[in-house]
A and B are shown apart, each in its own frame.
Chain A
Amino acid sequence: MILVWLIVILMAGGVLAWISGKINRALPRWIALGSVLAVFGMTLYLWLSNPIPVLDSAWLIQFNQPWIPQWGIDFRLALDGLSLLMLLLTFFLGLLSVLISWREIQTKVAFFHFNLLWVLAGITGVFLTMDLFLFYFFWEVMLIPMYFLIGIWGHENRRYAAFKFFLFTQASGLLMLLAILGLYFIHGRQTGLYTFSYFELLNTTLAPEAARLLMFGFLAAFLVKLPVVPFHSWLPDAHSQAPTAGSVILAGLLLKTGAYGLLRFVLPLFPTATVEFAPWAMLLGVIGIIYGAILAFSQTDLKRLVAYTSVSHMGFVILGVFSFNEWALQGVVMQMITHGLSTGALFIIAGFLYERLHTRDIQKMGGFWTTAPKMGVIALVFVMASLSLPGLGNFIAEFLTLVGSWQANNWLTVFATIGLVMATIYSLRIMQKIFFEANRMEQALPDLNAREMLIAIPMVAMILWLGLYPQPFLDTARPSIQEQLQAYTASPPPPVAMSQLTPQVQLTDTIRLNQILKASRHDPD
């Protein structure tokens, strides 16, 4: 039931916030803060009260209630480590979103918070549901409020951005719906049991051709959401036009639903088709890493720049997912969390700057370190996170991903690693243009105030924690990752498929590694 409460509290809070706007302008903010705090507290409690689960049951809590029995649709929620982590991230960023909007949003406050909470509710649903119909349902539910957030409270070009965001995600989502339906009927014909239950559908045996088509249906939605080049073009617009809270949620959470979908659905549902597609997917990932990095370098709109860095960073996710090993997947999960934090933080800093300067053009900025050293330090931390400096969470994520992807494909990993150099190039440009050099503005930039520090400090603390002691997070994710990988452990991805794409470095002792892996897998520690 607690899972249902999470969603219900958010939705009810949203409605309440909307209504309360009639009474008092500040009330919606407090209601929103209260509801997010409540769900965050509940999730934290769940996390702390559940010791690291043992291997054979990845699922911590399940909730099941028939919904549309005619079609085999249940209101089925379930929580495992992966979902738990995603929820923690969701509510953490949700909390920050409420806080950063405290001063930024001054028009239609009540409706803003309604949308904010409903986006969070939709995202929560996506991370929790184990019924494919319900999944699609939530997948769409989170879009509308997001559309409003961008379209109403966004910057100058908000309508265009909102449209683009909506159309891209909808178009891809519909393809996923077709694939879900295809899977539903195939499974139904096979077993006579027509159901959208994730757990049942996992047992579907698919002809290779069908599997491939269905996989592409799912991929369409997730790759657009992630986003993978060449489906990324909604993202820079949406990210740069959204209000700060919107950008944080977009970059921090909505992109993660794509990654989550890949992990949760694509991997276990289509074990053979994914292996076939893996080299191409990894190639897409690498292209994304490099392409995003190159484009980020030349952007002059700060939020647009950060948006392209997201494209680049999300390339690591798909690279990792299609490596099919635990290191890479742990890296992916870490990347989801750390990227959520670090990019969210960069957007927040962009928001702080925008509030003070009313511009996002970095060519007009410069020399802010002199007057705003606190902001400078915090920006520095997250810029460094974005170029994956060791000691910060992003490094663990990207290093694990690359270690894992190296096992799968050498050359692509090499190019992905080169992406780190490019990350350095664009990241340092951010620091240089904003905080260093001479101040081009007439006015002095006020440093962060107490509220802003309250937002920034937890993020710095989190990113350091994730960088120095990520084990609690890794432990939480482990059982579910192993579950997702079950179909792959029996047969590692055939090297043949990879050598078709790229010449391989000759390696002599790969067998040794496998032995080590096996040994370590049996070892509980």
Chain B
Amino acid sequence: MGELLWLIPALPFAGALLLVLFGNRISRALVSVIGVGSVGISAAVTLVLGIEYLSSRPAFIRQEVWQWFDVAGFSPSIAFHLDALSMVFIFVITFVGFLIHIYSTEYMAEDKDYARFFACMNLFVGSMLMLVMADNLLLLYLGWEGVGLCSYLLIGFWYKEPENGYAARKAFIITRVGDTAMAIGLFMLFQQFGTLHIQSISTEAAQVWSIGNETAMIIALLLLGGAVGKSGQLPLQTWLPDAMAGPTPVSALIHAATMVTAGVYLIARMHVIFALSPVAMTAVAVIGAVTLLIAGFAALTQYDIKRVLAYSTISQVGYMFLALGVGAWSSGVFHFMIHGFFKALLFLCAGAIILALHHEQDMRKMGGLSKKLPVVFYTFLIGAASLAAFPLVSAGFYSKDQILWLQLAGENGNIWLYLAGLLGAFITSIYTFRMVFLTFYGEEKTHVGHKPTWAITVPLIILGVLSFAGGFIELPHNFGHVVLFSDFLAPILPAVTMVPDFNQYEWMLQLLAAVVSLGGIFIAYLYYYKKPELIESIHRSEFAMAIHRFWHSGWGFDQLYDTLFVRPYVYLSKVNKKDFIDSIYTFIANVTQNFHELFSRTQTGVMRNYVAGIVVGAIMILTISLLL
């Protein structure tokens, strides 16, 4: 088994290549076949391999395609590594990716750059698979940058608008900042271990370093830098809301389900290094907690439905970081998977709405869509419930509850982190249902144009089912105690060390979480459906509006970075456009020229001056010869 492994990323790459080369010359139908088909076959291969993997349960499968290069012992390969962790990611990427591709055939049907869209999407899927299947960090880095490129290309897909291009560049550059940190991390890892092979590093690191090792800490923090950039976490989160400039399927696939969780994958993959450094772990958890709060509050104030979802994504990835930060590796990954389902679903629903409303994204201009778009409405409701962690029936409840629970029950947990998570959950349910109420209830404000057909509805339904049922593979101890998922990951990711004798409080905490979630929904119901005048009162308060603006702008990070980095850089560049060093040479040239003019003046053409010149020379020579 495993011979087929290389096909999984190769197929999308091949699709991309075909589309780049011939995309403009073949029919749309063929483009769709290639674009969707390549990912579809890839998903099928994943399924086959997954079944094989589950049945035989090897520790991992490795396939080396070729040796990339070999320089003085630095010999990374183009090699794939399949274990439980990558399995989960591959599964989400290929299947969700496949669904979104299908969805796109309808969503992008009218676009004239149809082939380019699918080429980029395929390229993205390929790179993302490369990222999660890489057996060494350099190959991972290849995928890592590759998805960055695709993200750039797809955010700026509608390139005629300068703002889109701006958003695209912003995304690429900011993630590149994180990547740079990560690259330095790789240099250090290589220096320490002489290899970038992930398995070797993990094995050796545990032997070489003891907990609290400084080098391990620096490396972990640097890797975290990369993760933070890619996953839109504080302080590099500002690109993600703007990334919504891309087509909605892109937002669903790249900026919700897969790419932004690459950071989670990286940390989970390198958990040995992280586990060696308590400082780094704390940093991960704190970043997660702060991000989820900040993004949650920002989401509350957005009007653009995609921006709400974008902030929500930041916030939910914050939960994953929170989980990782306390060592709850598998909980983080679990939440990733569930989030992948429901957030993709929500984005795709939003896309269907946007398509129906002639590319209207402002929620204030939506409303009353529940009747017009019933499939969208119900699937959206499932997604929203999952996002808001609606108790018991939603998948999101189980995954999020696990994270919150481990904040207290886990050894590395902390009451403050727990409270932050809880508050976050409360806000989450408010903004989620704010969205639901604003969009689907009330009166219809914009005429519904395009009604979704099967290509949109089928993916929605499938994702809806997953968002609902996905949670049942991992249930709490006191509630069925299903541990299929964490068992699956157990060989790779160690379980959380629990605080002893804490289990009896679990039901209390679950209850609390449920109350918080329902409370949030109720508040949203109150403010946005029942009594809209309450909102009016908020709008009248100066202070509240100031906060509203502050949150709306994403806590002012954009302005801050603009002042701190962007403007000085641009200024520095513009002010020195002519290159001041050049003027040094110009100065030298001018001095020489001045000398020329000075000397030229001595050549008067008057003979007596020449005589005088000779005499002066003679005097000088005599002076020298007589005095010295």
Contacts and interface: CB of A to CB of B under 8 A. Distances in A.
Contacts of B576: 294-295, 298
A26 interface: no
A331 B217 CA distance: 28
Contacts of A330: 71-72
A505 B214 CA distance: 10
B550 interface: no
A164 B589 CA distance: 10
A421 B74 CA distance: 24
A201 to B, nearest CB: 27
A327 B74 CA distance: 8
Interface string B559-603: 000000000011011101101011011000000000000000000
Contacts of B183: 399, 402, 417, 420
A516 B570 CA distance: 44
Contacts of A233: 579, 581-582, 584-585
Interface in B84-126: 116
A47 B141 CA distance: 32
B581 A516 contact: no
Nearest to A407: B191
B361 interface: no
B192 interface: yes
A355 interface: no
B342 to A, nearest CB: 32
Contact of B69 (A369, A396, A420, A508): A396
A390 B172 contact: no
A230 interface: yes
Nearest to A485: B72
A297 B573 contact: yes
Interface in B152-177: 152-153, 156, 159-162, 165, 168-169, 172-173, 176-177
Interface stretch (A57-65, A114-122, A428-436): A428-436
A406 B208 CA distance: 21
Contacts of A424: 172-173, 176
A157 interface: no
B190 interface: yes
B446 interface: no
Interface stretch (B26-34, B42-50, B142-150, B400-408): B142-150
B375 interface: no
A393 B75 CA distance: 16
A398 B71 CA distance: 13
A232 B573 CA distance: 17
B518 interface: no
A385 to B, nearest CB: 11
Interface in A372-391: 373, 377, 380, 384, 387, 389-391
Contacts of A438: 160, 162
A462 interface: no
B159 A377 contact: no
A436 B156 contact: yes
Given A507-B191, A516-B194, A517-B194, A471 B579 contact: no
Nearest to A163: B589
A508 B213 contact: yes
Nearest to B143: A390
Given A390-B146, A421-B180, A523-B73, A509 B192 contact: yes
A338 B212 CA distance: 41
Interface in A421-445: 421, 424-425, 428-429, 432, 435-438
Contact of A389 (B145, B177, B584): B145
Given A295-B576, A516-B73, A525-B70, A509 B188 contact: no
Interface string A396-418: 10011011001100000110011
A469 interface: yes
A428 B581 contact: no
Contacts of A396: 69
A325 interface: yes
B226 to A, nearest CB: 12
B172 A508 contact: no
A413 B160 contact: no
Which DSSP category, helix, strand, loop or mixed, fits chain A's interface? Answer: helix
A80 interface: no
A512 interface: yes
Contacts of B66: 469
A48 interface: no
Contacts of B69: 396, 469-471, 474
Interface residues of A, number: 69
B320 to A, nearest CB: 25
A395 to B, nearest CB: 8
B78 interface: yes
B138 to A, nearest CB: 7
A110 B60 CA distance: 64
A512 B193 CA distance: 8
Given A294-B576, A437-B165, A509 B584 contact: no
A403 B188 CA distance: 8
B162 A437 contact: yes
A437 B187 CA distance: 38
A496 interface: no
B165 A403 contact: no
B184 A413 contact: yes
B68 A513 contact: no
Contacts of A510: 191
Given A230-B581, A326-B71, A403 B173 contact: no
Contact of A513 (B20, B141, B165, B192): B192
B218 interface: yes
B67 interface: yes
A22 interface: no
Interface string B241-280: 0000000000000000000000000000000000000000
A518 to B, nearest CB: 9
Contacts of A471: 67-70
Given A295-B577, A367-B160, A520 B194 contact: yes
A327 B159 CA distance: 40
B215 interface: yes
Contacts of A299: 577
A370 to B, nearest CB: 8
B24 interface: yes
Nearest to B142: A390
Contacts of A230: 581, 584
Contact of A327 (B71, B176, B193, B585): B71
Nearest to A237: B582
Interface in A336-394: 367, 369, 373, 377, 380, 384, 387, 389-391
Contact of A428 (B169, B213, B585): B169
Nearest to A402: B187
Contacts of A437: 159-162, 165
A468 interface: yes
Interface string A467-499: 011110010001000000000000000000000
23 contacts: A229-B581, A236-B579, A294-B569, A295-B573, A295-B577, A298-B574, A367-B160, A391-B146, A395-B145, A396-B69, A403-B74, A403-B190, A406-B190, A418-B180, A425-B173, A425-B569, A428-B172, A436-B160, A437-B165, A471-B69, A508-B215, A512-B193, A521-B72
Task: Please provide the 4 A-B residue pairs with the shortest distance between their CB atoms, ordered closest to farther.
Answer: A520-B73, A516-B194, A436-B159, A390-B142
Given A294-B573, A471-B70, A517-B72, 6 more contacts: A403-B187, A428-B169, A432-B156, A436-B156, A469-B69, A520-B73
